[in-house]
Amino acid sequence: MTRDLDPYQPCAAASCGHPQRHELAISGLTVSYGSLTALEEVSLTTHCGRCVALVGPNGAGKSTLMKAMAGLLRPTRGMIAWRGQPLARATAEIAYLAQRSEVDWQFPLTVRGLVEMGRYPQVGWWRRFSARDDAAVDQALETMRLSDLAGRQIGALSGGQQQRAFVARALAQEAHVLLLDEPFGGLDRPSQELLTELLGMLALSGRLIIAAHHDLDSVPEIFDEVLLVNRRRIAFGPVDEVFTPDNLAACFGTPAQPAPLPPPDRDRPAGVRPSAS
Amino acid sequence: MHWLIDPLQHPHIQRALAICVLAGFANGYLSAFVVLRKSALQVGSLSHTLLPGIAVGILLFGLSPLSAFAGALVAALLVGLGSLTVARSSRLGQETALAILFTAAFAGGILILDFAPVDVDIEHYLFGNILFATDDDLRTVFWVSAIALVTLTALRRPVILMLFEPAAAQSLGVPVRLLNYVLLGLLILVLVSSLQAVGCLLALGLLVTPAATVYLLTDRTEALFWGGGLIGAGGAVTALFLSHHFDIGAGAAIILTLAGLFFLAWMASPRYGLLRRRAMLVTAGGAPPLRD
């Protein structure tokens, strides 16, 4: 049953090196907030079926990159293309999962209610849920092993369950690309392992998983590709080729040119420091 | 049954009852939005702004529901947008700017009413005068309630999405900024429509308490909307009968009834009530987390 992960839009091209697999291509992406440049000339190409980590120090632009990919902010220069089309505006094919600390966990919302939100783009603003929509929600809950918890209020879940509930919403949405901001932050070991396994299965079934990630030690066991970023792209590629001490030093060490001071109201540390656990 | 039927013989009570049902339901329904958005105090400022608007409306166009309504609408918009402008062009936050502007406007309203050409009883606008409502008032309340309910029902999915997670809503293509303006407009409309029942000092209660009560009873988002509507309408109607039989002010009775219901839920909600939390602390040694 767990193999039957994707009844809606199976992406057969995903894992077998098929030439027609769906491609996410970022080229020359630059994002500035006023005079502050958060990202400069970042380029990378990846495709569905992969699990990609975004790694870099605090304020390196990981969240900015995620938000640009989610269509939440407009790049100053450069382009993001998904399946050969410019990602000009928000689309249901891409699901963005904010950091857990940014969510109001007291909101009167059950796990099932949260996952049902994922169907809104398909169902539209007015129509009732069809049997197919209900089935998609059931399937998403089951895949994320939350069926028993469907009636719980979201704040009454553990951290790992909360994260899985949001992934389930992305599944119900039939999202092809999952953008996760620090999905493993604050999870205990068993929760982390379960989430790793489930994300791996989703990648196998043809989704593209992109996650900002803090814990350097766990990068090799969770991800297959990694982008080392510190305002610029330091390195990008398969984890075993790119995730090297030299590259990490280049990413987390003192930058060659001093970064401009961030404005005082921005939540960024003044110095750049490695954040390995 | 006399106590129930007798009051209904009077046309002015019938009208008042209809207004209670309509305004109570519309306000209760919208209170879900206010509670989930955590913007109760902003709405309070807006409701106080209605008084000067009404005063100017009466001064310019004479005493009629329409002039009061138009004035209130314009004043609320001016103060709402004005506070945004002040906040953006100074180092003050919007809440501070709003507080300054709405108290200034309120004070201005009191002065203007002194100069009004007709004899205006300011208490009617402060605390409501539902028993004096006219057919025109009823018609206004009906249309405002209908517009508010239909719009919010049609938009409830994007609204819930936006309230819960603005970023995710935006990434799914919800026009967050536009939606916020639409909802602000609805709020002002409904506030004005509830003036007749509870007046501008008490309007905030009708636009917060119903959904806050349901908030303590349910984990289902949509229940907050229709549950708030039912509590708003039911509470207002109950209070109208109470006010008739005990000869007390209807506006105050409505707000106190709603507050009483809230107090009940706060104490005795099976899920989130105070008694329940006590019991859980004693037996299991744990209670659901409080909001920090």
**B285 reaches A (C-beta below 8 A):** no
Assign A81 to helix, strand or coil.
strand
* Contact indicator for B32, B225 with CB cutoff of 8 Å: yes
In this prediction, residue A270 carries a pLDDT of 45
- The residue written with tokens 């098929």 in the block is A18
Fill in the amino acid letter for B66: L
Distance CA B82, CA B49 (A): 12
Could you tell me if residue A84 is inside a domain? yes
Q: Give yes or no for residue B73 having a pLDDT over 60.
A: yes
Could you tell me if residue B283 is inside a domain? no
* Contact indicator for A109, B219 with CB cutoff of 8 Å: yes
In this prediction, residue A267 carries a pLDDT of 46
User: Alpha-carbon torsion B240, B246, B252, B256, what sign?
Assistant: negative
Pairwise CB contact (< 8 Å): A90 & B224: no
Could you tell me if residue A50 is inside a domain? yes
Q: Closest approach of chain B CAs to the CA of A252, in angstroms?
A: 29
Could you tell me if residue B55 is inside a domain? yes
Q: What is the pLDDT of residues A51-96, one digit of tens each?
A: 999 999 988 889 899 989 988 888 899 989 888 888 766 578 889 9
pLDDT < 50 regions, chain A: 1-10, 12-19, 255-259, 265-277
Chain B residues in contact with A173 (beta carbon < 8 A): 172
Pairwise CB contact (< 8 Å): A108 & B155: no
Q: What is the pLDDT of residues B160-186, one digit of tens each?
A: 999 998 888 888 888 888 898 888 888
CATH of the domain at B127: 1.10.3470.10
* Contact indicator for A105, A94 with CB cutoff of 8 Å: no
Q: What is the pLDDT of residues B222-255, one digit of tens each?
A: 999 999 999 999 999 999 999 988 988 888 999 9
B99: which 2 tokens? Answer: 């507080």
Could you tell me if residue B255 is inside a domain? yes
Could you tell me if residue A188 is inside a domain? no
B41: which 2 tokens? Answer: 């105090």
Could you tell me if residue B278 is inside a domain? no
Pairwise CB contact (< 8 Å): B172 & A120: yes
* Among B37, B164, B290, the residue to mutate for chain A (most A Cβ within 10 A): B164
Chain B residues in contact with A97 (beta carbon < 8 A): 168
Q: Closest approach of chain A CAs to the CA of B130, in angstroms?
A: 34
Confidence at B126, pLDDT banded by 50, 70, 90: confident
Q: Radius of gyration over alpha carbons of chain A, in Å?
A: 19
Could you tell me if residue B81 is inside a domain? yes
Could you tell me if residue B288 is inside a domain? no
In this prediction, residue A2 carries a pLDDT of 37
| φ, ψ at B116 (rounded to 5°) | -60, 140
Question: How many of the other CB atoms lie within 10 Å of CB of B18?
Answer: 15
Q: What is the pLDDT of residues B25-60, one digit of tens each?
A: 999 999 999 999 888 888 888 888 888 888 888 788
**A96 reaches B (C-beta below 8 A):** yes
Could you tell me if residue B53 is inside a domain? yes
- What angle do helix axes B11-37 and B250-268 make, rounded to 10 degrees? 40
Of A96, A106, A125, the CB nearest to B171: A96
Assign A254 to helix, strand or coil.
coil
From edge to edge, which strands make up the β-sheet containing A23-33?
A36-47, A23-33, A77-82, A85-86
Lowest-confidence segment of A175-184, B114-123, B145-154, B265-274 by average pLDDT:
B114-123
How many CA atoms does the CB half-sphere of A208 hold within 13 Å? 23
Minimal-distance CA residue of chain A relative to B155: A125
Could you tell me if residue A33 is inside a domain? yes
Question: How many of the other CB atoms lie within 10 Å of CB of B176?
Answer: 14
CATH of the domain at A218: 3.40.50.300
From edge to edge, which strands make up the β-sheet containing A208-212?
A94-97, A177-181, A208-212, A51-55, A225-230, A232-238
In the beta sheet, which residues pair with residue A31?
Answer: A39
* Among A97, A114, A120, the residue to mutate for chain B (most B Cβ within 10 A): A120
Fill in the amino acid letter for B231: I
Please state the three-class secondary structure of B88-152 as a single string.
Answer: HHCCCCHHHHHHHHHHHHHHHHHHHHHHCCCCCCHHHHHHCCHHHCCHHHHHHHHHHHHHHHHHH
**A99 reaches B (C-beta below 8 A):** no
Assign B92 to helix, strand or coil.
coil
For residue B22, give its domain range.
Answer: 2-272
Q: Closest approach of chain A CAs to the CA of B215, in angstroms?
A: 7
Could you tell me if residue B291 is inside a domain? no
For residue A66, give its domain range.
Answer: 21-88+212-255
- The residue written with tokens 């000339």 in the block is A41
- Number of folded domains in chain A? 1
Assign A46 to helix, strand or coil.
strand
* Sheet strands (E) in chain A: 23-33, 36-47, 51-55, 77-82, 85-86, 94-97, 177-181, 208-212, 225-230, 232-238
- Number of folded domains in chain B? 1
In this prediction, residue B261 carries a pLDDT of 96
| φ, ψ at B101 (rounded to 5°) | -65, -40
Residue length of chain A? 277
